[in-house]
Chain A
Amino acid sequence: MRPADHFEQHAYATMQAQGTHLLEVRDLRITSRVGGRHRTIVSGIGLTVSAGETVGIVGESGSGKSMTARALLGLLPAGLMAHGTVTYEGRDLLAMPERALRRIRGSDIALILQDPYTMLSPLRRCGKHLEETLQLRDDGPRLRRRSYRDEAVRRLAEVGITDPGVADVYPFQLSGGMRQRVGIAAAIARDPKILVADEPTTALDMTTQKESLGVLKSLQESRRMGLILITHDLRVAFAMCDRVYVLYAGSVVEVAAAPVVEAEPLHPYTLGLLLSEPPSDRRVSTLEAIAGSVPEPDEVATCCPFAPRCAWVRDDPCRVGKPALAEFAPSRHTACVRIADIRHEMSALRSSAEHPVPSATVAARSRTLVRVEGLDKVFTAGSGRKAGRTVQALVGASLEVGDGESVGLVGESGSGKTTLGRCLVGLETPSAGEITIDGVDGSDYSALDRNARNHLRRTVQMIFQDPYQSLNPARTVDFAITEALRARRERADPQEDLDALTGELLGRVGLPADYRARRPIALSGGERQRVAIARALALEPRLLVCDEPVSALDVSVQAQVLNLLNRLREDLGIAYLFISHDLAVVRQVVDRVYVLYRGQVVESGPVGDVLDSPKHPYTARLVASLPRPDTDWLESSSTAKRPA
């Protein structure tokens, strides 16, 4: 790694060279008023963007990053107000009347949103989205209808959609990646000077994410647009951005050039975020998770917002007032007031936390617990006479899980990984093939007698992706777990025993016993997933099928849950089938991995081997799609760096 000083000079020089900024945000505060009660969502953000520059706003959910994006265009939802100044070409956008703002939107500042599935109107053809935007351009003569269409097709080609037929289809007929490209094309149809991209690739698959980011980057460079990229993923920010603003609970806690932050974060939160992110190239013994979860900005209005979760916190100076962002070194700003004292401790922690441990050695394989052989699953769309279109989700997939072994199943959406998991627990019945669980034929749960079925259900349990949907909102935590406990015992245990067991289970997943009285609404995402795990454990299963158990969670919380899963395995000797699209996550929790592509297992082996030297081209493509900060990850597009 090159010395950080070099980067500092580089970044400083580029900032000097740019001179004036395209957009300057000063002390942006966003508040809401619900039923007469004021709430702060963003408490004072400053940022600048220049032509041709990419700045990243990085933060977890609750940091206020999406509302910041919308505030820049004056598109806050009803009930939210923005204060401060947003200066664009010498005018304050926040003070501008709606009519004038509308002339800025799309033509000067454009926005793309996170979810390509909801960004386009489902009732409007893709080309129409572009054409109507093109028609708003006020430069040059107005074109005839036909010409707008031609222009729309040309614009689609610019984002890599070469099939002109795409202009005539409806958004729901396209994949997520294609929709996102149509969205990008529509957003920049009026050639804006600044593009605000709010988590533009979060909803996409890894390989699609990389392609979409590539498209964004090359457009930004060829047009010298200022790009504000909002993301929760530090890796993406490092790969894409020149400068990074780290946002926490509505405040900016650190600003510096991306390589500088990557080399040495100067705020404990940034460090925590960096260390929570599972490294893709090695396994670490435990992820340095940040305890707790993001507070409301108002709860931390008079202290350092990160104080409640910080390992280095001191009442004085951290809690005596809200620290302001200060320049610690040239072009390196941090809001940490203790940074001078703890800088060395922070880097020491980083080097020890990033120290790799050998990927779990694949010991002499234990007894096989689950064997899946030649599994086929065909889904048929529609029913009755309309049934025609079929989708083959699984094509002769085979895998094995040993007793106490952790096995990964990776693949992108549509690869059939979830279907396989659901077949294992009997939620789907395979069309062909065999599933043997603990010596029992589990290919078709409905064909089993009651005892065998109960045995299988106790042996295999599942954790679902979305903890917001997998718990009944009307029932308490206690109810969810006791219900599962009763299913195990099949007879009425005395209530005291159940209470004790529930408390014990909650303790196992790291929740205080008094959480039993809570309902899901009173729990954070991470806590809900812990409850879901506790509920699955109540049956003392020997295999836990984890279907993307952390992908709905913030990075810092994700790290907590991954650590928990690793610890549970050590304590209980339980086996996992860990289904995920995220190779870095998989690397941290599994021994062996299967790569699923279009329903087929294309590669398998010890996780280290597969990820370090993939044999199948698809695996290689997956590995290459992991964001990397240090190299020209976006290949084709990142060659032309801005002149300094």
Chain B
Amino acid sequence: MPNAQWRAFLGKRVLALVVLLLVISIGVFSLIHAAPGSAEQMLLSGRRPPSPERVAAIQERYRLNESFLNQYGHWVTRAVRFDFGQSIRTGEDVALALRERAALTVFLGSYAFALIMAFGVPLGVLAAVKRGRGIDRATIALSVVGVSAPAFVTGIFLLYVFAVILGWFPAFGAGEGFFDQLRHLALPAVALALTGLAPIIRYTRTGMLEALDQDYIVFASARGLARRKVLFAYGLRNALIPVVTAGGLILGVMLTGAVLVEVTFSLPGLGALLIESVNFQDVPVVQALAMLTAAMVITVNLLTDILYLFIDPRIRFGKAAS
């Protein structure tokens, strides 16, 4: 694909990303209005009956007297500068709080995702190659167990066995520095990865089975190419598109859906923050979290689409044009 086309493609996709985020931001901002009760009550999270001055101050601060559009405009212009205001609960700057928490969650999510790909793809390939045999069935059974056991159950189980009984991994804390984090977050990452392993194994297996059935596999073998080359350069390479699709979806889930695992392992991540904030009706934090989640999911999708272009020349050149 020529450079100009690349730029056009990227430009278009980034523009779409921005538009999408704007649309989502309207929805997110409306949360405060959609929630039961008046916005003032919610913001005051009424323990004591609020004094009229307090109400007026709140109204002033959140511009609740102005029109919805004005309020939104004000919120969004600050949001693009990553200014989401202060947390109602802690008074902390939301963006700052998020940054600390996000670092942990992104690390944990990527860790789990790396584990999923590192184990899921080879297991899928193995299952496909040994189609119908014991190892194939065992892999599928294992992945079903993984996906059906809730993360907090596997989490507690892992904690009990590997942290409490065997003492191989710490039971607590997130660790400092890369390698320490790797050690501290191993159990949570495994618990998280188990929930996303099954689809990757499935997609890899199905894609491989389909690819291995193709003529180009027979032809590659007939030319005497090594089995490993046939399996990977021909089989897996052609099976990759569905795997990448599933991988993108799962990465999104890993980054945004680690709530249960974070709570189980008492990790101060985004998920834990979300729960605390929702419980406390800490609207600015919830809004910022929702925007961050949306941005992460959309970015992962964009990366997936770019990856397609690298994997499949037919997409790159536009098959219709050939």
Interface residues of A (CB under 8 A from B): 70, 73, 75, 78, 98, 102-107, 110-115, 118-124, 132-133, 136, 170, 172-173, 183, 186-187, 189-190, 381-382, 386, 389
Contacts and interface: CB of A to CB of B under 8 A. Distances in A.
A105 B215 contact: no
5 contacts: A118-B215, A120-B216, A122-B216, A122-B314, A170-B317
A123 B311 contact: yes
B226 A121 contact: no
Nearest to B320: A381
Given A103-B224, A172-B314, A382-B318, A115 B238 contact: no
A98 B146 CA distance: 36
A111 B222 contact: yes
Interface in B305-321: 311-314, 317-321
A73 B222 contact: yes
B304 to A, nearest CB: 17
Interface in B280-322: 311-314, 317-322
A136 B224 contact: yes
B39 interface: no
A106 B218 contact: no
A110 B314 contact: no
A644 to B, nearest CB: 32
Contacts of A111: 218-219, 222
Given A121-B220, A123-B237, A172 B319 contact: yes
Contacts of B233: 121, 124, 132
Contacts of A120: 216, 219
A543 B222 CA distance: 48
B320 A187 contact: no
A122 to B, nearest CB: 6
Main secondary structure of the interface of B (DSSP, over half): helix
A75 B222 contact: yes
B41 interface: no
B13 interface: no
For chain B, the bracket of interface size reads 20 to 34
Contacts of B320: 381-382, 389
Contacts of A73: 221-222
Contact of B218 (A75, A104, A172, A386): A75
Nearest to A173: B322
A119 B224 contact: no
Contacts of B234: 121, 124
Contacts of B137: none
A111 B221 CA distance: 9
Contacts of A104: 224
Contact of A70 (B131, B218, B314, B319): B218
Q: Which of B220, B223, B233 has the most CB of A within 10 A?
A: B223
B216 A119 contact: yes
Contacts of A106: 222-225
B313 A136 contact: no
A115 B215 contact: yes
B215 A113 contact: yes
Given A119-B215, A124-B233, 16 more contacts: A102-B221, A105-B224, A106-B222, A106-B224, A107-B224, A118-B214, A118-B215, A121-B237, A122-B238, A122-B312, A123-B311, A123-B312, A133-B223, A170-B317, A172-B322, A186-B223
A110 B222 contact: yes
A585 B101 CA distance: 74
B321 A121 contact: no
Nearest to B132: A78
A132 B222 contact: no
A132 B317 contact: no
Contacts of B218: 70, 75, 111, 113
Given A118-B216, A123-B312, A132-B229, A102 B318 contact: no
B227 interface: yes
B164 to A, nearest CB: 46
Interface string B225-257: 111010001100110000000000000000000
Nearest to A76: B218
A227 to B, nearest CB: 15
Contacts of B311: 123
Contacts of A386: 318
Nearest to B237: A123
A170 B314 contact: yes
A186 B227 CA distance: 17
Contacts of A123: 237-238, 311-313
A105 B237 contact: no
Q: Which of B219, B220, B238 has the most CB of A within 10 A?
A: B219
Contacts of B322: 172-173
Given A173-B322, A389-B321, A119 B227 contact: no
A288 B287 CA distance: 80
